[in-house]
Structure 1
Amino acid sequence: MAGIRIQTPYKGSAVRFSRFDAFRLLVSTRDRYASSLGLHVLQIFPTPSGGNIINEVATFDSDEGVNDCCWSESHHSHAVSGLTDGTVKLWDTSLPPASQPVSIFREHRDEVRSVDWNPSVNNFLSASNDAEIKLWIPGRDNSYHTFEGHTEKVNAVAWNPSQPHVFVSASYDRTVGLWDVRDNRSITRIFDNHPFGVVSCNWNKQHEFLIATASGRSINVWDIRRTRVPMFDFISHDRNVCRVCFSPHKCQTLLSCSLDHTVRTWDIQEQVLTARYELHHSAVYGIDMSVHIEDLIASTGRDQLVHIWRAST
C-alpha cells in the first residue's frame, strides 16, 4: 500500500486500527479549540487506478476533548474513549450519532489519560490523572474494580497480549506498575531512574515478558522478570516521546512518536534506529500498527493530519 494521508479539521490525540476490519481506523481529538471534538471513524478505499484514498465515514461529537481511544476486541463496532472531563464513554459506531454514546461512566475524578481493551476478555481499562486505574465490563453501570497504588497521574495502561489477566501501567510518579486482575493486586513496581514521569507503555506482542516505556526523550525496554535495570535504555528523539507501540508481527520492532514531529522505528535486538519518518509538521501524539497488514503504520497529531503508510516502502 502506497502512503496516503487525510487533512482533517481536528488535532488528533490517538489513532487505532480495527481488529475486525483491516481498512478501518479510529481517531480521537482533544484540542480545546478544535471545531470537531470526539471520535472519527476513517475508512481506506481502493481507487480505480489501483491506489487508495481515506475518507471519514462517521463522526461522533463530544463537548470535551478525547485523550485516548481504542476499538473493542470483542465487538466489531464498539469503541471506548477517555475524556478530559474525567468520563469514559462507550460508543457503537454502527449506530447514528444521535444515539451516541451508548454508555457514559463518571467514576474518575480527573482527566482520563488512557484506555485499552483486553485482547482476550470482554473488558477494558481506563487510567486517569486521579492516580487510579479502573476495570470496566460492558453492560455494567459501575466499574468492576479500582486499582490504587500510583501516587501521581497514570498516563497509560496496556494489557498483556498472552496473559489476559495481567496489565502494565505508566505514571508521572516515575514508576511502572504490573497488575493481576485475578486477585486485583499489584504484582510488582518498576522504578524508572529518569527525572521525568513515565508517559507511555506497551507490551511486546510476541514476548510476554517484554515491555517498552517512554520517559522524556528516552525509551526503555524491560524484561519484567528482572526489573532492577532495563534491558535497553536509549535517547530516542530530539524532544519528549509521546507514545510507544510494538509491532504485532515482528518481536524486535518498536514504533515511537514524539513532540519533535517524527515517527521512528527501532530494532530492539540490535538497539538501532531502522527508520525515521518526517511526515508531520507538529507534535505526533498517536501511532498504531495494523494487526492485519504487516508494517502498516498510522499516525496522527497536532497538525491535523492522519498518515497511513507501509514501513517497508
Structure 2
Amino acid sequence: MPVFRTDGFEGTSVKFSPFIESRLAVSTGQNFTVLGNGRQYVLELSPRGILQVCFFDTNDVLYDCCWAECNENLLLSACANGSLKMWDIARPPAANPISSLEEHACEAQSVDWNPVRKDSFLSASWDCTVKLWSMERPVSLRTFVEHTAHVYTSTWNPQHADVFASSSADRTVRCWDVRNANSILVIPAHKDEIVGCDWNKYNNSLLVTGSIDQTICVWDVRNHAVPVTVLQGHSKGVRRVKFSPFHENIIGSCAYDMTVCMWDISIQDSLLARYDHHTEFPFGFDMSIHEDNLLASAGLDDCVYVWPHGFDPRA
C-alpha cells in the first residue's frame, strides 16, 4: 500500500478506528515536534491507496490521539500546550474542535478512551499527572498525582472498567483503580524513562513496558518481582509498545533506532521481524483490531505506512 505523506508535519501517533476498519487517525507536529503547529489527520484505506478524509489544524504540536469508543465520528488529541481537543469529523473543520479541555499545566502526552465503560477517557501529561474525564463534564473527574516525573502514557485495562496503568520518566509503571486516590501497584520496571505501556488483550494481568534503556519488559501484575520476559533487540530507546488485539503472545514496538519490531513472547527467539522503512524516528505505531496482522506506523520523516506483517511496508 503506498505511503501517505504528511508533508511539513511529522507523525507522532497513529490509531486505527474501532468502528471503521479502513479508517485511521494520525497526529502530527511541525519542526520535529519540538515547536510549531499541529495537524490531526483522518485517513482512509482504499484500493487507490491511503486517502485523506479531513484534517484539523492546531496552534500547538499534537503528541497523541484516540478514537471515542461511543461514537465513530469523535476523535481526541493531546496537545503540547496541555489541552485536549475533541473533534467531530462529521462536522466541517471550521466547526471544530467541539471542545477544548484545558487543565494540564504541561504537554499532554497521551490520551486513551475506556473500551469497557465507553463514556470516559484518560490523559497523561508532563505535569506528572494523569486525569480522568467524562463525556458528560467539561472538567476532569479526578487527577492522579503520584508520579515524580513526566508521565508518558496512561492506558486502560481492556477488561476492567476502573483499572488503568501509567508509565513515567520516574522509571516506574503504576496501576490504578479510579475508585481510589492512590495507585494500587508500583513496579520499578526499568533503569531509564518508561515511555510506553500496554495491557494484554487476553490476559488482563500482563502488562508490557518500553523504555529509553532500549528494552521491552512483560510483567505479571500478580507477581511482579521480576519480569516475565525481557525483549532486547532495539539499539535505541523504545517509543511505543503494543500487544496484539488478535494474539496473546504477539507484541509490536517502535523505537528511536528507526525500526518497527514484532515479537513473539512464547518462543525463545522472540524477534519475528524488523522493519526499517522509516528514515526518521517512528513515533506512532498501532495494530488493526479488524484485520489480523495489519500494522500502521507514523514517523518524523512525514510518512505514514500501513502494511500486513511479513511484507515490506514500502512495497
**d(CA) in 2 for partners of 1:33, 1:208:** 35
Matches within 5 A, 1:62-141: 62-121=58-117, 122-141=119-138
Between the aligned residues of both structures, percent identity stands at 41
**d(CA) in 2 for partners of 1:103, 1:220:** 37
Residue by residue over 1:175-219, the C-alpha shift from the partner in whole angstroms, topping out at 9 and shown as x without a partner, is 00100013343111001241x111100111111001100112110
**d(CA) in 2 for partners of 1:82, 1:156:** 11
**d(CA) in 1 for partners of 2:233, 2:113:** 28
Shift of 1:36: 6.3
- Give the corresponding residue for 1:296: 294
- Give the corresponding residue for 1:144: 141
Unaligned stretches of 5+ residues in structure 2: none
Aligned counterpart in structure 1 of residue 210 of structure 2, from 205, 210, 214: 214
**d(CA) in 2 for partners of 1:101, 1:290:** 26
**Deviates further, 167-176 or 3-12:** 3-12
Matches within 5 A, 1:1-313: 3-9=1-7, 10-32=9-31, 37-46=38-47, 52-121=48-117, 122-194=119-191, 196-216=192-212, 217-271=214-268, 272-313=270-311
**d(CA) in 1 for partners of 2:94, 2:290:** 31
- Work out whether residues 284 and 300 of structure 1, in 8 Å CA contact, stay in contact via their aligned partners in 2: yes
Q: What number of residue pairs does the alignment pair up?
A: 305
SS in 2 for 1:186: coil
Q: Extract structure 1 runs of 4+ deviating beyond 2 A.
A: 30-36, 182-185
**Deviates further, 283-292 or 139-148:** 139-148
Shift of 1:157: 0.8
- Work out whether residues 245 and 288 of structure 2, in 8 Å CA contact, stay in contact via their aligned partners in 1: yes
- Work out whether residues 12 and 300 of structure 1, in 8 Å CA contact, stay in contact via their aligned partners in 2: yes
SS in 2 for 1:98: helix
Shift of 1:226: 0.8
Shift of 1:93: 1.3
Shift of 1:303: 0.5
RMSD, aligned α-carbons? 1.4
Residue by residue over 1:226-281, the C-alpha shift from the partner in whole angstroms, topping out at 9 and shown as x without a partner, is 11111112323011111001110011100000111111100011141001111111
Q: What is the letter of the counterpart of residue 88 of structure 1?
A: L
Residue by residue over 1:42-94, the C-alpha shift from the partner in whole angstroms, topping out at 9 and shown as x without a partner, is 00112xxxxx4111110100000001111111110111111100111111111
**d(CA) in 2 for partners of 1:154, 1:172:** 6
Q: What is the letter of the counterpart of residue 297 of structure 1?
A: L
Unaligned stretches of 5+ residues in structure 1: 47-51
TM-score under structure 1 normalisation? 0.94
**d(CA) in 1 for partners of 2:262, 2:65:** 22
**d(CA) in 1 for partners of 2:177, 2:226:** 22
**d(CA) in 2 for partners of 1:33, 1:192:** 29
**d(CA) in 2 for partners of 1:291, 1:312:** 17
- Work out whether residues 32 and 64 of structure 1, in 8 Å CA contact, stay in contact via their aligned partners in 2: no
- Give the corresponding residue for 1:49: none
